Amino acid sequence: MACSARSVYRDRWGPRFPVPGAAVLHSRERPLSPPSVTRMRLPGMTPAPSPVPPPVPPSALSALAGLSGLPGDPDSPVRVGTEGLLVAVPVLIGFRPRDSLVMIATGGPHGRRVGLTLRVDLPPPDDPELVAALCESAAAALCRDDPEGAAVLVVGGGEPGAGRPAAPGEPEWPPRADVAGAATLALLEREIGVHTVAWAAEIAAGAAWRCYPLHDCGCAGTLPDPAASVLAATAVARGAVVRDSREELAKVVEPTDDAAGPAAGSAGPAASSSAAGAGGDSAGTAGSVDPGSPAGQPSAVDPRRLLRDALADAAAGRLVVGRRLARAMASALRRPWFRDEALAACAGPTAPEAEQLWAALARTSPGADAATPAALLAVSALLRGDGALANLALDRALGADPGHRLAHSLRAALDGGWGPREIRAWLEGER
């Protein structure tokens, strides 16, 4: 059955697995093997015999035994079991989810490489139509990555033992079996093998987890510390930030108290703010002011120098975005040629510094002036595969300027399944 997208999905692109070649195994006892429909047991279905799984190759056992440390070769695959996949979710989406459905696409030469990661809030348990619609939408969105297989993970949704009552002789069902079953069926209808269907009370050390009894595997246990996993350590070493919640992530673009005021050039300046949390303007030349200019407006500085000095300040850890720098950047970003240079900075050698600058400007710029920096932040986030931050940045951009063309274009691209590869090709003029 051909994949087709039906609606917008919230946190589409999660960060790619931080180790190239990352793979997932269904459990520590057997390698990933996408099951057919007859091998799965959904609520109300008669269980079908499951073939004996093939033995785990010695290389996989060695990889699983060595998860406590970083791999010697940064490009070597990291194989994880269901437990490891659950604790990897915060790395994949950039924050620790709560009461969420997470769907992970897998593909590559052996069907095990982690790809697109989706997350959505769990729907109310008393609305089966909404459950079905949400899972259909999520499965359609996952199809955009053309996966060979998928994992369905439910986080939260109730305490252990609060799931569907088990029939005599059946194993216990974790909470929200309705969501796990609907998501699995939606994927199977699209001919995507579902190799992992698991639940965790939360993504935290000591939290209970278990597989839904769809594969008759009986996998269960408690989660290790997510921050101590090899994937988290590798992500941190590469500069990734994993936040405790989506609300904490939203603060990256949350406007300051005065940022909702009049835009630059109108009465009422924006309050100053710093990317590091301090107030005032940068000591560098980026925010310099001509004392003779009216009302302390920014002097006619070269926009290229303005950007170069701001990026240098960010690299040195001294970036401070006050109202003067915000006004100067807003004026520069109104020039099409300068917006092109700002977009190029998102993918260049100063990309981390550019992302820091766009985030600070998105927070501190007043009115519609925040739209372009927020859209640029969305580009930076998409290039890293951070769909959650990209969506929040686009919400900020369109909230500041509902007609912002770049933000609308990026939203359409994101809804169309664009990821880092497509965004980079667009910046390079290949799309």
Please tell me which of 13-17, 38-42, 287-291, 390-394 the model is most confident about, judged by mean pLDDT: 390-394
Q: What is the mean pLDDT of residues 272-284?
A: 33
According to the model, what pLDDT value does residue 262 have?
42
Question: Does one domain contain both 147 and 217?
Answer: yes
d(CA 410, CA 406): 6
Residue pointed to by tokens 């004026």: 331
pTM for the whole thing?
0.66
8 A C-beta contact, residue 189 and residue 181:
no
8 A C-beta contact, residue 392 and residue 10:
no
According to the model, what pLDDT value does residue 39 have?
32
d(CA 388, CA 18): 16
8 A C-beta contact, residue 111 and residue 146:
no
Q: Tell whether the model's pLDDT for residue 261 goes beyond 50.
A: no
Q: Tell whether the model's pLDDT for residue 175 goes beyond 70.
A: yes
Question: Does one domain contain both 89 and 197?
Answer: yes
Question: Does one domain contain both 233 and 255?
Answer: no
Question: Does one domain contain both 224 and 276?
Answer: no
Range of the domain at 28: 23-243
The CA R_g of the chain, rounded to the nearest whole Å, is 24
Query: What is the per-residue DSSP string for 256-303?
Result: PTTTTSPPTTSSSPPPPEETTS--S--SSSTT-B-TTSGGGPBP---H
What does the mean pLDDT of the chain come to?
A: 74
According to the model, what pLDDT value does residue 141 have?
87
Structural domain count, the chain: 2
Residue 184 inside a domain? The answer is yes
Residue 142 inside a domain? The answer is yes
In this structure, what token pair is assigned to residue 338? Answer: 């300068």
d(CA 61, CA 256): 51
Work out the end-to-end distance of the chain between its first and last CA atoms, rounded to an integer number of angstroms.
28
According to the model, what pLDDT value does residue 300 have?
60
In this structure, what token pair is assigned to residue 182? Answer: 């609907």
Q: Tell whether the model's pLDDT for residue 108 goes beyond 50.
A: yes
d(CA 36, CA 50): 10
Question: Does one domain contain both 153 and 233?
Answer: yes
Question: Does one domain contain both 34 and 64?
Answer: yes
Q: What is the mean pLDDT of residues 211-234?
A: 85
Cα torsion 274, 280, 284, 288: sign: positive
**pLDDT tier, 192 (very low <50, low <70, confident <90, very high otherwise):** very high
Residue 384 inside a domain? The answer is yes
Of 243, 261, 293, at which residue does a domain stop? 243
198: enclosing H helix or E strand: strand 193-200
d(CA 13, CA 19): 17
Question: Does one domain contain both 167 and 128?
Answer: yes
**pLDDT tier, 403 (very low <50, low <70, confident <90, very high otherwise):** very high
**pLDDT tier, 11 (very low <50, low <70, confident <90, very high otherwise):** low
**pLDDT tier, 194 (very low <50, low <70, confident <90, very high otherwise):** very high
Question: Does one domain contain both 259 and 336?
Answer: yes
In this structure, what token pair is assigned to residue 69? Answer: 């440390």
Q: What is the mean pLDDT of residues 309-322?
A: 91
Question: Does one domain contain both 165 and 36?
Answer: yes
Q: Percentage of the chain with pLDDT > 70? A: 68
Question: Does one domain contain both 103 and 65?
Answer: yes
According to the model, what pLDDT value does residue 101 have?
96
d(CA 173, CA 169): 12
**pLDDT tier, 331 (very low <50, low <70, confident <90, very high otherwise):** very high
According to the model, what pLDDT value does residue 162 have?
58
Residues 127, 132, 135, 136: what is their CA dihedral angle, to the nearest 10 degrees? -150
Of 216, 243, 270, at which residue does a domain stop? 243
Question: Does one domain contain both 119 and 223?
Answer: yes
Q: Which parts of 12-95 fold into alpha helices (H)?
A: 58-65, 82-93
**pLDDT tier, 250 (very low <50, low <70, confident <90, very high otherwise):** confident
Residue length of the chain: 431
Q: Tell whether the model's pLDDT for residue 137 goes beyond 80.
A: yes
According to the model, what pLDDT value does residue 247 have?
87
According to the model, what pLDDT value does residue 5 have?
33
Q: Tell whether the model's pLDDT for residue 43 goes beyond 70.
A: no
Pairing of strands 320-321, 273-274: antiparallel
Of 211, 243, 275, at which residue does a domain stop? 243
153: enclosing H helix or E strand: strand 149-155
Residue 16 inside a domain? The answer is no
More confident residue, 215 or 96: 96
